[in-house]
Amino acid sequence: MLTTALAGTGVLIGSSIGSAQAPTTQPNWNCRASLIRVDQGLTDLLGLPASPVEPLLANGRNSATAPDNPACLPDSQSAQERIDVTPLTVVGDVLKAETTVTPGLGVARNTRTNTATTSAEKLNLLIQSAIPGGVLVTADAVQSTASASCVAGVPTLTGSSQVTNLRIAGNAIPLDSVLDGIAVPLTDSPLGAVAKVYVNRQETSTAADGSKALTQTALRIEVLGALADVIGKPLATVVLGESRVSSQNGNACDAEPPPPTVTVPGPTTTVPGPTTTVPGPTTTVPGPTQTVPVPVTVTTPGSVSGAGTSPVRNGTNGGCGRLTMFFAKNRRKTLGVRFGQERVVTRGRIVNCSGKSIVRARIDVFHVLPGGTKRLVKTGLRSRELGRLTQIMPRNLFTRKLVFEYRGDLSSSRVTSRQTLQINVRDARGKLVTRAPKGQGKPKF
């Protein structure tokens, strides 16, 4: 059975509201960024699940049949130092996948620039799939980017990628900048019977309704072996640095239709009529009562309430939520450690008010330092399967509070559920460490 187990670090996620968007038939933009993806060809032969493994994926889904979210939304995923995910071991710096929308979602879609980027530095990748000992891939840098925007009313999609100092199984692969976007098979190298490599590949497509798509891939490796001919596909396909943008459901540069105008009947006002005076015996006769309706016109973007901003549900099954967090070492909310001796690991879970797991929920993380200084961890946390959460921090932390906050509505600053943990760090003499010791360097948090 294929398993995905993150070890050595948690995946730290930045802002994302992709899970809150409903499918639409209107023209719009989409984007997706995946730093690492592996498809195993043996799944068909062995009857295993066919979904790809993508441990660092921004604004997308781990699905072979429906990999995209409904629209391009800001999202960021990154990992520190190491990822173990069957059948891969990945070690490197700046492991990141990110999607951005500029200047933001609040402007007309034909004025936005939608971008997907991936990056990795000092990459060491071990592919363990049907090859004894695995296949080791190293590179100084792997990077790709794809961007979509409107130019003179036409969707314009661009992309680029780069791989530097690539080695596979110890063999240096010569890379010439003129080969960007062209598949490069290693037919004349000692690796011809083991791997087939494509560098800086760009694929574009245009649908009948005018929709366009561009996929920029920095590196694609197909692992071959004796069983490859039997199953009719590579034993494993590993994609590094894939960025994708598209305009879907037609021309995303067409002007958006104006929001509907909704007339809401106002309150009914009763106006007393005039008083009539009759000569002779003076008689006061009340005039007729008139009922005058007072119309009120309210214009909002598709909403009668006039709230202006639609709620953005945080995660699948999200909204009303209950957050639980604790230190993995003692399963408590307070932990004492020696400075520089171990990494601090926190774990937790997020469920809704019915007890269902909230998947892909964004959790804001704050570090409150001695003296009250409050720092927001930009990447935050993202819940995975069963609503589980994991964060692994560096060894050089000093004493602080860790505040975890879940907002059921991402368009609001209101906190739905909050958990606070306290870490007390002491030096070799047992003295509380309240700031980074000299010469130790400042922690990333």
Q: What is the pLDDT of residues 186-226, one digit of tens each?
A: 344 444 445 678 888 899 999 888 889 999 999 888 776 55
pLDDT surpassing 80 at residue 158: yes
User: Residue 400 corresponds to which amino acid?
Assistant: R
**DSSP-assigned states of every residue in 345-363:** EEEEEEEETTS-B-BT-EE
Q: Which of 78, 90, 100 is nearest to 219 (CA)?
A: 90
Residue 243 confidence (pLDDT) above 70: yes
pLDDT-derived band at 184 (thresholds 50, 70, 90) equals: very low
Which pLDDT belongs to residue 14?
Answer: 41
Contacts of 367 (CB under 8 A, 6+ apart): 374, 375, 377, 400, 401, 402, 403, 445
| % helix, strand, coil for the chain, step of 5 | 5, 50, 45
Per-residue pLDDT reduced to its tens digit, 98-151: 999 988 776 778 888 889 888 888 887 776 654 556 677 888 889 999 999 999
| Digit-coded pLDDT (tens) for 301-351 | 433 333 456 789 999 999 999 999 999 999 999 999 998 888 889 999 999
Check whether 12 has a pLDDT greater than 50.
no
Query: What CA–CA distance (Å, rounded) separates 195 from 221?
Result: 6
Q: Which residue has the higher pLDDT, 373 or 76?
A: 76
Do 29 and 97 meet the contact criterion of CB atoms below 8 Å apart?
no
pLDDT bin (cut points 50, 70, 90) of residue 37 is confident
The two tokens of residue 318 are 């999200």
Cβ partners under 8 Å of residue 181, min gap 6? 200, 201, 202
> How confident is the model over 372-425, as pLDDT tens digits?
777 776 667 899 989 999 988 888 888 999 999 999 999 899 999 999 999 999
Token pair in block for residue 346: 């926190």
> In this predicted structure, what is the pLDDT of residue 249?
87
